[in-house]
Chain A
Amino acid sequence: MEILQTSVILGITLGMLFALSSAGLVVIYRTSGYVSFAQGDVATAALFVGLLVHEAGWPYWVLALIVISSGVAISLVVGMGVVTPIERHGLLSAALSTIAVSLVIQGLLNLTSGGHTRAFPALSDARAFRLGDVALQWTDVAAFGCSVIAFVALGVAFRRSNLGIAMRAMSDNELAAELLGLSRLRLKACSWAVAGALAGILGLFVAPIYSLTPQSIDAFLVFGFAAIIAGGFDSIVGAMVAGVVIGVLTNLVSAYLDPNLVPFSLYVLILVILLVRPQGLFGRSIVSRV
């Protein structure tokens, strides 16, 4: 019972991180129609910038701000400087260019940092409260809170604000959106900036627990992919719920079946969801165009 309880509670906190990683992917997907494989590397690069700030002795809140703004800046450079211009050669080329960008960022970090494992400071090590056997720290609470805030903000932005409506218009029909006078580039820049900020936030919560190497955030990407597939590309709330479900499920597989089966169970989960509900658990049904 204890194992079950712990697996579920910690699965939820883990799942919120998966959800957070999927949020950045969704934002880019909504305006551009592909996912960025460089999302984890944007986060890592921003964290290395943050580490310099930390080593210079600045307080945590400065570090956090620097990481998030570096995430925005790097993501903008990647998105607007490299990936979006390649879109004119097709979406596949653009999507693949994110893989090349990922190799470039990892290569740069390997060259400059030497690639070895580093520790990263956390928001706080103080204990917040107990939930069953689990002592949640303020960092966990903050990660949870940030995810919820990010999702609520994104949800509201996508539904209510002009920008969000424009983004939806863009993903539905780029030409029509442009005819309506929506600036394609501005919207894309906006989505890459938001994705960069989300990458920075994710990194701030992941790096203190899993250490910082040029690859450490990458492991979260595949779970982020799974969360958006399961939740549906259209539904921000769906991605959050799916992230949590995946966090709990993978913990249960790890506890009761075998830890080495976790990635395969993720594949099976994705496949089953796609076959049973192609639009995801919470997505709008897809209108197919012939």
Chain B
Amino acid sequence: MQNFHRVARRGRRLTAGAGIAALALVAAACGSGSSGGGSPQEIVVGATTPLSGDYSAISAGVKAGLAAFDKLNAAGGIDGVKVKFVMRDDQYNAANTPAATRNLVESQHAVMMCDSQGAVPQASVKQYLEARKIPSVVNAGDPTLDGPYHYLVIGNYDQLGAALVQYAAQDLHAKSIAVSYSDDDLGNPVREGAESELKALGLKEAAKVKYDPTAASMSAQAAQLKASGADFVVLPGIAQTAATLINAAQQIGYTPQWGMMFAAQSPVLDQLTKNKVDGHAFFVSSFIDPSSSAATEYRATLAKYQPKLNPDDGPTIAGYTIAQVCIAGLEKAVKDAGGKVPTSAQIQKALSSLTVSNDTVQGIDWSQGPHQGSSSGQILALEGGKFVAKTPFAPFPTVQ
């Protein structure tokens, strides 16, 4: 056995050597880490988003945000101060979001987060960002994310659900309204909002049908909805999910009118449903109609900086708009800082007194305490392959 002890001792020496080498590496890494970051005339803004993995499709919104910053910089930045927008991949997995966010804040010296995606991933770093006093304008619609350093732009999902029901009952004169939903932070608030509005209008819910957004088939849900006899169905979910349910319904000859979220507002939905929902699909959105004249600049920016993105997608215009709100906050902060690069504290102060109501965003008011998202929006309809505004921008109904 002695021999092995000798081997082991040598192993120990090797280990010790490796340890020293590792420490040297670490020292080098630390050195380079602290010297990085933005130049004195540059504001670093970070965002976490799924750039790889199963959810990479939804990073389109943040990429549209990047286009907004690219355009800003091309025009000279904010009074000469450029913005460096850094995206970091978290695969939409809350296990990766903390490391990605720490990297942005501590290695890349981001002074602000903007357009970071997903209620669940963002919840996992909320306390961290608060502890570091980094303001974050999130790309998520969960009202519980609201906090002293957190700001929402997307309207609360429950209000969006209520707005759909209101439109169905008052404008479309729907006789019977059913709610389909996924048991998650998108489906549940929409369902609650829709149910609250049904109650307020004195209507009965025709059916409440749960689906699994990842399911290979939704024919069972389509059959349940059909059995309810509803002529209007609230359907939260992204285009892919919505199309699966709509196609399953088509297949059994069930063709109600569908009330969806801006998340499903996409030409892909029209293509996936083989243009069969044209005229029967309605979308609630706190963002502008991408085919309106107010969106001309948005379309031009996207065509120039992110030509691969589809400007008609609801999530894309959402990501772009959120970046615009961030820019509005940064403009204010730069002014407050006397034309210099603002600190996190200055940005937070600027955001906390921000109100935005213009052609592209309406009803953002963070000056009164809570930092909730837009409380107004509009209903769009899919008509002739285009998303057309059916109502003017108006406040959403309140949800009890």
Contact = CB atoms under 8 A, between A and B. Distances in A.
Q: Do A and B make up one complex?
A: yes
Residue with the highest number of chain B CB atoms closer than 10 Å, among A11, A122, A209:
A209
B127 interface: no
Interface of B: 52, 54, 56-57, 59-60, 183, 210-212, 214-224, 226-227, 238-240, 243-244, 247-248, 250-253, 266, 268, 271-272, 274, 308-310
Contacts of B220: 3, 6-7, 251-252, 254-255, 259
B52 A134 contact: no
B223 A7 contact: yes
Contacts of B253: 133-135
A119 interface: yes
Contacts of B183: 260
A85 interface: no
A14 B56 contact: no
Interface string A119-133: 100100100000001
A214 B54 CA distance: 8
A250 B223 contact: no
Contacts of B266: 117
Contacts of A158: none
B223 A6 contact: yes
A114 B248 CA distance: 28
A223 interface: yes
Given A2-B227, A133-B253, A137-B251, A14 B217 contact: yes
A146 interface: no
B184 to A, nearest CB: 10
Contacts of A58: none
A251 B227 CA distance: 16
Interface in A208-227: 208-211, 213-216, 219-220, 223
A133 B252 contact: yes
Nearest to B274: A125
A107 interface: yes
A110 interface: yes
Interface residues of A, number: 44
27 contacts: A6-B222, A7-B220, A11-B219, A14-B217, A114-B56, A115-B52, A115-B57, A116-B60, A116-B310, A118-B268, A119-B268, A119-B271, A133-B253, A134-B253, A135-B250, A135-B252, A135-B253, A211-B239, A211-B240, A211-B272, A213-B240, A215-B54, A250-B217, A254-B221, A255-B220, A259-B210, A259-B221
Interface of A: 2-3, 6-7, 10-11, 14, 107, 110, 114-119, 122, 125, 133-137, 140, 208-211, 213-216, 219-220, 223, 247, 250-252, 254-255, 258-260, 262
B212 A211 contact: no
Given A116-B57, A117-B238, A118-B268, 20 more contacts: A2-B226, A2-B227, A3-B220, A11-B217, A14-B219, A110-B52, A116-B56, A116-B310, A117-B57, A119-B268, A125-B274, A133-B226, A210-B240, A211-B240, A211-B268, A252-B220, A254-B217, A255-B220, A259-B220, A260-B183
Contacts of A107: 52
B248 A10 contact: yes
B343 to A, nearest CB: 35
Contacts of A2: 223, 226-227
Nearest to B56: A115
Contacts of B212: 254, 259-260, 262
B251 A219 contact: no
Contacts of B248: 10
A215 B243 CA distance: 17
B272 A119 contact: yes
A107 B266 CA distance: 24
User: Top 10 A-B pairs ranked by shortest CB distance?
Assistant: A119-B271, A115-B56, A255-B220, A10-B219, A6-B223, A259-B212, A254-B220, A3-B223, A116-B57, A14-B217
Contacts of A208: 272
Nearest to A111: B52
B273 to A, nearest CB: 9
A133 B226 CA distance: 10
Contacts of B224: 3, 255
Residue with the highest number of chain A CB atoms closer than 10 Å, among B220, B221, B240, B308:
B220
Contacts of B217: 10-11, 14, 247, 250-251, 254
A234 B397 CA distance: 60
Residue with the highest number of chain A CB atoms closer than 10 Å, among B54, B217, B218, B252:
B217
A37 to B, nearest CB: 14
Contacts of B56: 110, 114-116, 214
A264 B248 CA distance: 23
A131 to B, nearest CB: 10
B115 to A, nearest CB: 16
A209 B242 CA distance: 11
Nearest to A116: B57
